[in-house]
Structure 1
Amino acid sequence: MFSPSQADVRRFFCGVWAKSSTSQPMEAIETLAAGWIEEHPEWHAELADADAAVKRNYGDGAVGGNPFLHLSMHLAISEQCSIDQPRGIRQAVELLAAKRGSLHEAHHETMECLGQMLADAQSRRQAPDGDVYVASVQRRATRS
């Protein structure tokens, strides 16, 4: 199992941004990450300085305030959808994207559901419940 440190994750995203900015060849995961980075121009300057990014304290790690947590969640949701794990997440995110007219916006809403599932599991000291997570995304996709 791959278990990168916080510094590893930050250097990965900063490296991806450096490669993307200079049109260097990238691995598949880097190409995916670069796409999500492009969607967040508010963090481009921050991603340009890996040393400063590694040293920065993002406080409580709120998804919207920590570019590395946020981008990691985009990658996690992309991977979940690619393998449909938990079962049904691909369809739920696709429905939400269609409703919102934006995969990016659908991911942001899905992040809220994912974060809530993880917080609930942690507070109960139980494994995350993928069915509850998928149902939460589905509810957002079917609400008027």
Structure 2
Amino acid sequence: MGSLLVSCLMIVLAIILLLFFLVRARTRQDKQRMFKVQPGGLLENERLQMFHWLCEQVPEGYYICPSVRLKDAFFRDSEKGLVRFFVATSPLASTVLDAVVVQYQTGAVVAVVQRTGSDRMGLIERTADDAGVPVIEGNPGNHIPWEQIIG
């Protein structure tokens, strides 16, 4: 009976100490920043120029999403088993598209924009082709044939 009482007291003491340190850490968090960071730009140099070029040309009812992972553009998180493992461990998970054109009403990806000379262009083209989505080579200054892409 005595050892049970001692065990209960130790557990109560441990909970009280844990709560004390959590409250103390929370009040200290307001006083001192953990990291000294500043907000940065999402896009730089060529990617920013390409984003401006796309925004000038995109038709109404569509919008541009810059720097999207290939995995997020074409694969659903609800996939399970071997497909999910394959996607997570393949180059699909780390490949970043320069931009994706999305239809506003449906949220569907209608085109992928990638700079010419990208080292993973073959992978991107094969994946987009499987999904039935055209790949636009991102060369700022060129005209994009929207009527052919979105019909």
TM tier relative to shorter chain: under 0.3
- Tell me the TM-score normalised to structure 1 length: 0.27
- Tell me the TM-score normalised to structure 2 length: 0.26
Q: Write 1 or 2 for the structure with the bigger share of helix.
A: 1
Higher radius of gyration, 1 or 2: 2
Q: Write 1 or 2 for the structure with the bigger share of strand.
A: 2
